[in-house]
Structure 1
């Protein structure tokens, strides 16, 4: 059984959702705090941003101390 990364699961769920009504991500900041971000408009564009700007471990490419640690797609 293949273990998929969080980013791989996100990409798969986005394909199923097509045009989601809502995307919420939990982002771990360099301080260790968890920030939640909810997007209800331009969700496809935002999903593309997350897949482009974050690496395979869902770490922000220009600051790897920032990491998506969870998400919800509706």
Structure 2
């Protein structure tokens, strides 16, 4: 797992093994970044989201609350 500079991980957030979160990403409450997933720089992941295994979210992605990305 790697987490970049200036990242905000809110309460209940999980970042699983081999996942990566880019610089200045914002991950809201109770969201899960699964194994091997990559969250780009300046991305915003809403509350109660799941980023599935091995998914890549591009820089600046904006994922709405309660979304599962496969």
Fold match by TM threshold 0.5 = no
- Greater relative CO, 1 or 2 (CA 8 Å, sep 6+): 1
The higher radius of gyration belongs to 1
Under a length normalisation based on structure 1, what TM-score does the superposition of the two structures give? 0.23
Q: TM-score, normalised by structure 2?
A: 0.24
